[in-house]
Structure 1
Amino acid sequence: MPTMSHHPMILRRSLVRSIAVALSLGVAVTSGPVLAQEGGQPSKAAVEEAKQRFQRGRELYEENDFQGALVEIRRAYDLAPTYRLLFDIGQIYYQLQDYPNALKTFTKFLQDGRNEIPQQQRDDVQREIDKLKGRVGTLRVTTNRLEAEISVDDVPVGKAPLSEPVLVRPGRRKITATLSGFSPTTKTVEIAGLETLDVNLELGEASTLTSTPPSGETGGASTQTPAVEEKKSVLPTVMWITTGGLAAATTVTGILALSASSSQSTNLETFPTTAETLESGASKAKTMALVTDILLGATVVAAAVSVYVTVSSSSKSSPQKTGEVRLGVGPGSLSVMGTF
């Protein structure tokens, strides 16, 4: 077996030779130490599919599609496990700079291959393992809730309690714990190579409010969050405040309109006066009267809506009763009709 190297061209040739050996000695046979101990003997159909996937993996690797090559060769390993494929998988992980998985895969390669691996290759792989250990950090993750789902950088790594520490690349890592019925918790840590960090994640209970169904109902209980209940109780108050504000504005503009009208009457009775003064006074009086009419209409509408919202909020126990507001607009008139 050639000496392992991580220069792209040398690695590519090494992978092709490794594939050829694996196909002829590993995947194509169904007995002997080539197969993983726990894998059993693959069927003939599984072996054939593994060959095809292996071939696709080689082609993808030649095209520098390392991610695609990894998926295909891992599928081949799942179909017909052989320690020789672990060597190839480990090299692709290394090429992808996924040092934790490269370290785990090379370690398993030595464990599964045992004496079947030539001594020179064993020494080469062991040197790479020693180098990879300096590019990997270790997280010991604990949580206060059993069965909590633990993920690192949004990738699930297992459920609490974890059976072993988590190997990660150096840098900033995000660790999250989630469990149904509890508020998720996340911590971000910075870890260096060869460093071991303890991370404890505390999950708090999620707050929920369940409302009791009215007597006589046998259906499922409905749930209302405090925010929804608060909105329902606050809305009538907001509407009445709005109505009051509009009414006050209507009163003010009405007084100003009367004052402008009075001033205009005074101008008409004053002699001498100018056309400009009369025109200005008439325009002001007309404008204030129009604004007053608009605000009066808005006040009436707001009052009707406020009554509707208030009645609706107080009738939650009688959902079959619904209110209705109808507005009528005509030349110089505004009408509101409602049933509650």
Structure 2
Amino acid sequence: MTYNPPQANTQQRRYRYALLMTLGLLVLALVLAVSSGPVMSDWRLLLVSWWPGELNGIEPIHRAVVAEIRLPRLVLGLAVGMVLAQAGTTMQTLCRNPLADPGLIGISAGAALCALFVIAFGSQLGLVGDIWVTLGAFVGALGATFLVYRLAGGLRGMNIATLILAGVALNALAGALIGLFSFYADDEALRLMSFWQMGSLAGVTWDNLPFGLLAMGIASVAFWWRRHAINALLLGERQAGYLGISVVSFKRELVIWVALGVGGAVALTGMIGFIGLVIPHIARLLVGASIIRVMPLSMLLGASVLVLADWLARMLVAPAELPIGIITALLGAPFFIVLLLKFKRRLHA
């Protein structure tokens, strides 16, 4: 018979309650995403994807809107929210810094830079198709990750101040090059580039989902499979090595999975900020620091928040639509400021 201390039982109860609340939030997000929108808002729209008969007041166009617009956006929002939250959790653990984030340290900017290069000049180079955009985003995310990582001290050490500064420099460089691409791109490419820079789930179809979903799915499964080893990094690199983890190769592996997941997300949605930064913090506030608990809760929270943000983007200025990057920035920036203030007070203490 095993003995569970009262503190462990309390943490387990908090974890269960947090999961139940997050699942309820996810169900609410799913219902709102499918049943409401500028064209029509009706709870019966939840039934049209599998109900074979006719529903009073539900026209064929409403079925088409649900099947061809709302459901692809819902699937994309769930996948992107999950993988960005997982990537943020992994980066913060890898860097042992609560401010590390794929967007803050330049990974998203690197992915967008190469993807926008393919959009702007792909037709001239024979790189036409969604697979090339996804591949470009992955290559850009991977290159940016290794560049920032090496500048911050290499795979054997990590200087956090240099990491943040390198991310700032890389974001600035990527912004300058994206501006240069915009100067030489044609009108059609400029419209697509605007979509990328603000971030949006609009325009997604079942046809252009598979490649990005494959990249995000592989990364998400890898994060989940390696969550125990990621949790060991919380003890420190030396202690993780004592537990049998090859720390140097494992850190390289995590860098690849982060680049693959972020690259797949950016390839389909553009640059969506603050999900990877804010969601892991909320999860840690609810269930503690253990990655075993933080990882699943972050996945559910990330998916819920991004789907709700997409719903707000569609509803706030209907029939027009706000870029989802604006919504996530408005929600995440105040939280980030609070984090900075806490970090500042801790340094002074």
Give the number of the structure whose alpha-carbon radius of gyration is greater: 1
The structure, 1 or 2, with the larger RCO (C-alpha pairs under 8 Å, 6+ apart) is 2
TM-score by length of 1: 0.23
Q: Name whichever structure is richer in helix by fraction.
A: 2
